[in-house]
Amino acid sequence: MKVLVINCGSSSLKYQLFDMTDESVLAKGLVERIGIEGARIKHTKTGTDTVIQNREIPNHKVAFKVVVEALLDENHGVLKSLDELAAVGHRVVHAGERYAGSVIITPDVIDALEECVPLAPLHNPPNLMGIYAVTEALPNIPQVGVFDTAFHQTMPGYAYMYGVPYHYYEKYKVRRYGFHGTSHFYVSRRAAELVGKPIESLNIITCHMGNGSSITAVEGGKSIDTSMGFSPLPGVIMGTRSGDVDPLLISYLSDQEAIDNKAMSHVLNKESGLLGISGVSSDLRDVEEAADSGNRRAKLAEDMLYYGVKKYIGSYAVAMGGVDILVFTAGIGENSARAREGICKGLECMGVKLDPEKNKVRGKEAVISADDSEVTVMVIPTDEELVIARDTKKLAIDR
Ligand code: AMP
């Protein structure tokens, strides 16, 4: 019972093949530079060395064919025949208000996702290219869509609406959607499992902090608010994204710099955040190093990140009437003890007490709060692929 999970970006295709009898990963890999010179596939059969092949890969259809070849390869493959593959699960970024959970992909679902393209112009088109590539290569295989926005569909209207005239919501679907939903779902469930309490009884704040970061309030297992919004730009400062800004900055700066909307979006998405403030890098490791050697702007960028996350934690604790568990995940959340310490400093007033020794952990599940901390603070590596594989099994195989 094998399930292939696919995550397509504009020039990349990530994949993992699961054996769902025991949820083990048989192989994983990445096709990169699709449509660009220097395209290649990096493929790893679990327990063996990574194989890298340079290939001409003009589009996602060819990329998927190359993945299939790798999975069937005599030496580093893991399938004898494609008949062993029971279903394919796709990560899809935006499903608008249409889906609050994963679904089997049908022509109607594809139409709905095409309709969401204006809401996620950078992400939905490559996600759809992945679906089209699989449909063409394996027309009879069931496919499932798992959406980044779905988990946040439980937010109440007062949390997802913006204070702009209501008809813009009706006409253009302008509202907070939230992203990283699959990750917030996974780590909140895993946190409940690890403390041995039902998710319905817990208030959890999940901090997904990587190149993109979002903070979510998970009350009784449901997302009730999240820091990203209509787009993945707002919230805390990120690698190159600004996070929250006064919206009037945008027209003011466009006028001052004489740049159009597209150029302004580029500034906010690609030139801002840790990179824009520090002038050093979008990678927190470089920013930390620069701050240690006396770079004041790097220190400022770091402090802005911690302060921003802390403010979201405080507001979500109030939104839920208290918090039981605080979870850190993704590249920064899983690896930077310094970021976790910087964020938790000052949260003692709400019952957060970090244990500096336990906080030294990197990249594995751990409780990092002191034994007498009222709030349990945890590091939980995220596993979005596993959620996609499980939903795919549930919808396409167990039905
Ligand atoms: P992600 O998008 O989840 O892959 O996270 C990528 C980001 O995690 C990188 O850009 C780094 O800023 C950050 N990161 C990874 N390892 C560390 C580390 N040891 N210390 C600080 N930041 C890290």
Ligand 1 pocket member 126 (CB < 6 A): no
First to last CA, the chain: 14
Determine the atom of ligand 1 nearest the C-alpha atom of 287.
12
Res 49: pLDDT:
96
Ligand 1, atom 4, residue with closest C-alpha? 331
Pairing of β 2-8 and β 85-92: parallel
- DSSP output for 38-77: T-EEEEEETTS--EEEE----SHHHHHHHHHHHHH-TTT-
H-helix or E-strand spanning residue 257: helix 248-257
Ligand 1 pocket member 275 (CB < 6 A): no
Give the length of the chain.
399
**Cα of 338 to ligand 1 centre, how many Å?**
12
Taking residues 152-180, what's their average pLDDT?
A: 98
Contact status, residue 146 vs residue 179, Cβ threshold 8 Å: no
Ligand 1 pocket member 283 (CB < 6 A): yes
Taking residues 9-19, what's their average pLDDT?
A: 96
Taking residues 279-308, what's their average pLDDT?
A: 98
Amino acid letter, 301: A
| Residues 6+ away with beta carbon under 8 Å from 143 | 87, 88, 89, 90, 104, 105, 131, 134, 135, 396
**Cα of 332 to ligand 1 centre, how many Å?**
4
Q: Which of 14, 187, 285 maximizes ligand 1 atoms within 8 Å of its Cβ, making it the mutation to test the pocket?
A: 285
What pTM, to 2 d.p., does this model score? 0.96
340 has a pLDDT exceeding 90: yes
Q: Closest by alpha carbon to 233, among 271, 283, 186, 204?
A: 271
Q: Which of 30, 186, 237, 284 maximizes ligand 1 atoms within 8 Å of its Cβ, making it the mutation to test the pocket?
A: 284
* Total Cβ atoms within 10 A of residue 247: 11
Ligand 1, atom 19, residue with closest C-alpha? 335
Q: Closest by alpha carbon to 203, among 193, 192, 194?
A: 192
Establish whether 255 is a catalytic residue: no
Residue with tokens 């999975």: 71
Q: Is 33 exposed, middle or buried (0-12, 13-18, 19+ CB in 10 A)?
A: middle
Cα 329 to Cα 213: distance, rounded to the nearest angstrom: 10
Ligand 1 pocket member 332 (CB < 6 A): yes
Q: Which of 12, 206, 288, 332 maximizes ligand 1 atoms within 8 Å of its Cβ, making it the mutation to test the pocket?
A: 332
**Cα of 257 to ligand 1 centre, how many Å?**
32
- With cut-offs at 50, 70 and 90, classify the pLDDT of residue 399: confident
Ligand 1 pocket member 330 (CB < 6 A): yes
Look over the chain and give the mean of its residue pLDDT values, rounded to a whole number.
97
Tokens of 138: 């394996």
296-327 pLDDT per residue, tens:
999 999 999 999 999 999 999 999 999 999 99
* Domains by residue range for the chain, with CATH: 2-147 (3.30.420.40), 193-384 (3.30.420.40)
Q: Closest by alpha carbon to 334, among 301, 360, 354, 309?
A: 360
178-232 pLDDT per residue, tens:
999 999 999 999 999 999 999 999 999 999 999 999 999 999 999 999 999 999 9
- DSSP output for 231-295: SS--SS--SS---S--THHHHHHHHHHT--HHHHHHHHHHS-HHHHHHSS-SSHHHHHHHHHTT-
* Active-site entry in 83, 108, 111, 148: 148
Using only the alpha carbons of the chain, give its radius of gyration: 21
Cα 79 to Cα 17: distance, rounded to the nearest angstrom: 10
Res 165: pLDDT:
98
Res 122: pLDDT:
86
67-76, 115-124, 168-177: least confidently modelled range: 115-124
In the chain, pLDDT over 70 holds for what percent of residues?
100
DSSP letter (8 states) at residue 354? B
Contact status, residue 208 vs residue 183, Cβ threshold 8 Å: yes
Res 31: pLDDT:
97
